[in-house]
Structure 1
């Protein structure tokens, strides 16, 4: 696990959480950027990207 991967995953999570409930196109775009950054960090650390909708409570595979 790399520190850079963990930082990307954490930053992406924060960005996604901050914008996921917004209704504007800008908020949806920023939430998607957060998801992409989070998944990039997960892949760098050898984990599978999260593909479920945020907030659904689905367990990771």
Structure 2
């Protein structure tokens, strides 16, 4: 597992959590950016990306 992948996954998780409950288009865009960053980090570490509904374990 790479340090860079772990950092991307953690940063993406934080960004997603900060913006996932916002109603504005900008909040939704930032939440999606966080999901994308988290999944990029997961892929770098050889894990499958999380494709389920946000806020669930899917």
Give the structure-2-normalised TM-score: 0.96
Where structure 2 has 5 or more consecutive residues not aligned to the other structure, the ranges are: none
Count residues in correspondence: 58
Higher mean alpha-carbon deviation, 8-17 vs 49-58, is at 49-58
Equivalent residue, structure 2, for 1:25: 25
Structure 2 CA distance for aligned equivalents of residues 16 and 38 of structure 1: 9
Structure 1 runs of 4+ off > 6 angstroms? none
Equivalent residue, structure 2, for 1:40: 40
Structure 2 CA distance for aligned equivalents of residues 7 and 48 of structure 1: 16
RMSD: 0.7
